């Protein structure tokens, strides 16, 4: 039997806060991170809102020169990793650096840097393109920089599986720890796609909410009137360790990462399987890997993007996986407050699942007003709910039919 894999530290920057504590307080209070786009002038655009990270100062985590050579998604990753390492008390030394991994994923990477350098190329010619453009753009840049900053010499890479990237990256770390390849890992994801090209592109595929005059009421996951996602940004990083490694150094264990599974819909490049079969398979396989029975799941943090197809497909997936038990499990979409952080979203939602287990408090689905007869489960509308949570699962379902599910369990 494989050794337990435990979580000993967490860090985040996201639209609800610049720390785990601040973010948890705001998500359980039902506070929205959505507001007008400030990263560029969106006046006249069909989409003028996003869930931006507010008040972030990269100079608190790196010197000014380094900050200018790093894309925003990389800056977020360094900040989240810094908090996670400090919270865990993990001591990274020359003699153990090779037994620690860094798997910080990104679905897209340095979109802002790519856009800016393309503008520069067009307007000023090739000699004006930044020599730092490639490391600022590449999705593995965040993992590489965190490894460099902390002298970590174990496996370091990024997983790209669209909106499932963060959960898949955490799952990859879980598997390597179980296989004995490493003793500890920084695992999570980061994303910063609130740029002209990002907003325009997602709007062109009709995935975005356009109700600019109702920013305080959107997005609306699982609501009958849901009409699209709101783009978010940020990062979340977890410190994972084998139980024996954590106990040997006297770490404070927050929860157990008990299971993980990944499946593919093999259906469509953007649309989910309308019957939710791939998501249901991922849920069942993740629970099997954790040795968790269907009736032991106390909370589901849904993918819940607020697009009509996604929320319906996910509801069908939960029903297919759990049967009648699905109606007895509280489900919430924290994207109703954080927006959709693309590749980083699953990592932040894993953080929220850990806190739900530790605090006995389930975050709400904000902005829920009108029930949808086709989405008829318990979506914890508008107000956090006190409930003992021993087992929580986090769903992440991405473009291309990528499905990843994490199982987080109370540590004993």
CA-CA distance, 404 to 61, in Å (whole number)?
A: 31
CA-CA distance, 194 to 248, in Å (whole number)?
A: 43
CA-CA distance, 269 to 162, in Å (whole number)?
A: 11
Among residues 39, 245, 268, 340, the one annotated as catalytic is 340
- The 8-class DSSP code of residue 214 comes to G
The DSSP result for 304-348, as a single string, is: --S-HHHHHHHHHHHHHHHGGGGGGS-EE-THHHH-B-GGGHHHH
Q: Which two tokens stand for residue 124?
A: 């000023």
CA-CA distance, 172 to 387, in Å (whole number)?
A: 30
CA-CA distance, 381 to 409, in Å (whole number)?
A: 24
Q: Reduce the DSSP state of residue 140 to 3 states and report it.
A: coil
The bridge status of strand 234-242 relative to strand 361-362 is unpaired
Q: Reduce the DSSP state of residue 362 to 3 states and report it.
A: strand
- The 8-class DSSP code of residue 197 comes to H
Catalytic status, residue 340? yes
Q: Reduce the DSSP state of residue 299 to 3 states and report it.
A: strand
Catalytic status, residue 163? yes
Among residues 163, 209, 353, 375, the one annotated as catalytic is 163
185 DSSP β-pair partners: 101, 240
Phi-psi label, residue 360: left if phi above 0, alpha if psi -120 to 50, beta otherwise = left
CA-CA distance, 199 to 44, in Å (whole number)?
A: 13
Going across the sheet that includes 100-105, the strands are: 156-157, 100-105, 184-191, 234-242, 5-13, 255-264, 402-409, 391-398, 299-301, 331-332
CA-CA distance, 344 to 76, in Å (whole number)?
A: 10
Among residues 209, 245, 303, 367, the one annotated as catalytic is 303
Q: Which residues are catalytic?
A: 163, 303, 340
């Amino acid at each position: 039997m494989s050794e337990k894999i435990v979580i000993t530290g967490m860090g985040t920057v996201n639209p609800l806060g610049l720390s785990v504590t601040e973010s948890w307080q705001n998500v359980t209070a039902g506070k929205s991170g959505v507001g007008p786009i400030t990263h560029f002038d969106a006046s006249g655009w069909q989409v003028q809102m996003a869930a931006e990270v507010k008040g972030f100062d990269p100079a608190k985590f790196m010197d000014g020169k380094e900050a200018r050579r790093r894309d925003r998604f990389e800056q977020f990753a360094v900040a989240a990793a810094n908090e996670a390492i400090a919270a865990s008390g993990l001591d990274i030394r020359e003699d153990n650096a090779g037994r620690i991994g860094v798997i910080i994923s990104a679905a897209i990477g340095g979109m802002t840097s790519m856009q800016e350098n393309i503008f520069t190329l067009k307007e000023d010619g090739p000699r004006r393109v930044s020599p730092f453009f490639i490391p600022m753009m590449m999705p593995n840049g965040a993992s590489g920089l965190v490894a460099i900053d902390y002298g970590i010499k174990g496996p370091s890479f990024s997983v790209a599986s669209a909106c499932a990237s963060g959960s898949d990256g955490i799952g990859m770390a879980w598997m390597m720890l179980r296989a004995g390849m490493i003793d500890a890992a920084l695992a999570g994801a980061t994303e910063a796609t609130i740029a002209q090209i990002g907003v325009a592109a997602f709007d062109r595929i009709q995935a975005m909410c356009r109700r600019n005059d109702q920013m305080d009421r959107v997005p609306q996951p699982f609501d009958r009137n849901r009409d699209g996602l709101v783009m978010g940004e940020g990062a979340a990083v977890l410190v994972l360790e084998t139980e024996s490694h954590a106990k040997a150094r006297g770490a404070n264990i927050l929860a157990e990462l008990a299971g993980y599974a990944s499946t593919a819909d093999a259906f469509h490049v953007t649309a989910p399987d309308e019957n939710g079969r791939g998501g249901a398979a991922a849920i069942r396989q993740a629970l099997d890997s954790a040795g968790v029975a269907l009736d032991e799941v106390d909370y589901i943090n849904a993918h819940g993007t607020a697009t009509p197809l996604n929320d319906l497909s996910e509801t069908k997936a939960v029903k297919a996986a759990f049967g009648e038990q699905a109606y007895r499990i509280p489900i919430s979409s924290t994207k109703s407050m954080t927006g959709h952080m693309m590749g980083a979203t699953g990592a932040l939602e894993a953080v929220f699942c850990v806190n739900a287990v530790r605090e006995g408090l389930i975050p709400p689905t904000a902005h829920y007003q009108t029930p949808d007869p086709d989405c008829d489960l318990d979506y914890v509308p508008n107000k956090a709910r006190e409930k003992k949570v021993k087992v929580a699962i986090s769903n992440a379902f991405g473009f291309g039919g990528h499905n990843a599910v994490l199982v987080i369990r109370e540590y004993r």
